[in-house]
Amino acid sequence: MARTEVIMPQMGESIAEGTIVKWYKKVGDRIRKDETILEISTDKVDSEIPSPAAGILVEILIKEQQTVPVRTVLAYIDAEGMGDGSHGPVVESPRPAAVPEPPPVQRDAAPREALPHRGRFYSPLVLNIARTEGVGMEDLERIPGTGEGGRVSKNDILRYVAARGSKPAAPHAGGAADARPPLPGNEILPMSNVMQKMAEHMVQSVRTSPHVSAVHEVDMSAVLRHRMEHTKAFEAANGFKLTFTPYIVDAVVKAIKKYPLINSSLDGDKIIRKSSINIGLAVAAENGLLVPVVRHAEAMNFLGLARAVNDLVVRTRNRKLVPDDVQGGTFTISNYGIFGTMIGTPIINQPQIAILGTGAVVKRPVVIADAIAIRSMAYFTLSFDHRIVDGALGGMFLAEIVRVLEELDPDMKA
């Protein structure tokens, strides 16, 4: 019979393994080609995986919440009408074999390996294993990492647990509260992998960068007029609505071209100024906050930016992103104004050095040429890394964004 393998995909160059979050089909179900068959989670993003063929799902080899390397066979599909009516059982994957001793300490490891709580990254999988096995953060910091950049991998922590006999570590001083059972009536909600990764990333960012925030007021009236004049024709021609976001992205790109140091990262005592402008957009999705990236925004006109923004937002909310979509950003925009928030102080998305937060656009009375007028106003906040960006550069960059939006060309093609 014709049998097709369902394989754990390679969801990005740096992705080595994935976790089965949910099977949408069970053994015996008929499946159409490209129909969603399962959802997987990696360190970068959760993704729905389409079926590689039409047929009947005859065997599931890897159960939900199990983690396996990329290119592992997850299930088998038989072509419709070709099977013999029998379906294979759900088979559990074997547990990793225990290793008697942990690997030797790497003498050439980066200094951060010996310094606890200094921005070291841990994947959601490693943190879950640590919680299950009673491995505290101080113990976790001491485990030599063999993963990319010295990160602790699944096998590293499993070797550590096996070497100590899988016995929970004694609680550290001040950690007794963690062992208390939940109070009666309280609901315990597990964090998704994406939420865990975001929490980890935000804590690391605050530890790494001295954050400074600057707030400017921007008159969005010119943007609002342009949008209202073009919204119907734009939607008819492109199939989606014209929002404020592409206007803001366009202004940020123009401001970065004028002040390119904002488009940098810091590597030790070296500043790396990026040649491409890759704009990350913070998008609230069902499974947490994701930041897909508009790549090479410097090469796009306004219409190109609008299409790229819409594509990323739609795929984020439909869980169609792949890990490469959320990597490589050089500057991030967080539009918390859609929730009615007026002013915020966003956290920098490492290893970037600045992030723009945009507040709600509301009508307010303002003084213009010694007269009171009603204008559509918003507050924009720039959070920046004070190791590289001083108050003068941060203020000038933010002022340039404001200028571009307030002096918007009324004839700009949308």
| Interval 118-135: pLDDT, tens | 456 677 677 777 877 888
In tens, the pLDDT along 220-254 reads 999 999 999 999 999 999 999 999 999 999 999 99
- Which one has a higher pLDDT value, 119 or 357? 357
Query: Is residue 108 scored above 80 in pLDDT?
Result: no
Looking at residue 110, its amino acid is: A
| Cβ 311 vs Cβ 321: under 8 Å | no
Domain presence at residue 87? no
Q: pLDDT-based confidence at 21, cuts 50/70/90?
A: confident
384 and 328 within one domain: yes
382 and 246 within one domain: yes
DSSP string for residues in 180-234: SPPPTTPPP-PPPHHHHHHHHHHHHHHHHS-EEEEEEEEE-HHHHHHHHHHHHHH
Active site (annotated) includes residue 156? no
Q: pLDDT-based confidence at 183, cuts 50/70/90?
A: low
Q: How many CB atoms lie within 10 A of CB 107?
A: 5
CB-based contacts of 211, cutoff 8 Å, min separation 6: 345, 347, 348, 383, 384, 385, 386
Structure tokens at 285: 């999705």
SS3 label, residue 364: strand
pLDDT at 225: 96
Query: Is residue 107 scored above 50 in pLDDT?
Result: no
Domain presence at residue 73? yes
Query: Is residue 91 scored above 60 in pLDDT?
Result: no
361 and 229 within one domain: yes
Question: Domain limits at 22?
Answer: 3-78
Domain presence at residue 90? no
Domain presence at residue 98? no
Query: Is residue 187 scored above 60 in pLDDT?
Result: yes
Query: Is residue 79 scored above 90 in pLDDT?
Result: no
pLDDT at 121: 66
343 and 259 within one domain: yes
- Which one has a higher pLDDT value, 79 or 23? 23
**Out of 117, 172, 178, 390, which one is annotated catalytic?**
390
| Cβ 398 vs Cβ 214: under 8 Å | yes
d(CA 108, CA 229): 62
330 and 241 within one domain: yes
Q: What is the DSSP letter of 87?
A: -
CB-based contacts of 21, cutoff 8 Å, min separation 6: 38, 39, 40, 41, 46, 64, 65, 193
Domain presence at residue 99? no
Query: Is residue 334 scored above 90 in pLDDT?
Result: yes
pLDDT at 182: 61
Specify the range with the lowest mean pLDDT, choosing from 75-89, 118-132, 282-296: 75-89
295 and 253 within one domain: yes
CATH code, 43: 2.40.50.100
Active site (annotated) includes residue 390? yes
Query: Is residue 115 scored above 60 in pLDDT?
Result: no
Domain presence at residue 258? yes
Structure tokens at 79: 């072509």
d(CA 81, CA 406): 64
320 and 196 within one domain: no
**Out of 267, 386, 409, 411, which one is annotated catalytic?**
386
The pTM for the full model equals 0.66
Domain presence at residue 93? no
Query: Which of 20, 51, 78 is the last residue in one of the domains?
Result: 78
In tens, the pLDDT along 47-75 reads 888 899 999 999 999 999 888 888 899 99
Query: Is residue 383 scored above 80 in pLDDT?
Result: yes
In the chain, how many domains are there? 3
314 and 346 within one domain: yes
| Cβ 385 vs Cβ 209: under 8 Å | yes
Domain presence at residue 86? no
119 and 44 within one domain: no
CATH code, 278: 3.30.559.10
165 and 29 within one domain: no
Query: Is residue 173 scored above 70 in pLDDT?
Result: no
Among residues of the chain, what percentage have pLDDT more than 90?
Answer: 54
d(CA 65, CA 48): 15
214 and 204 within one domain: no
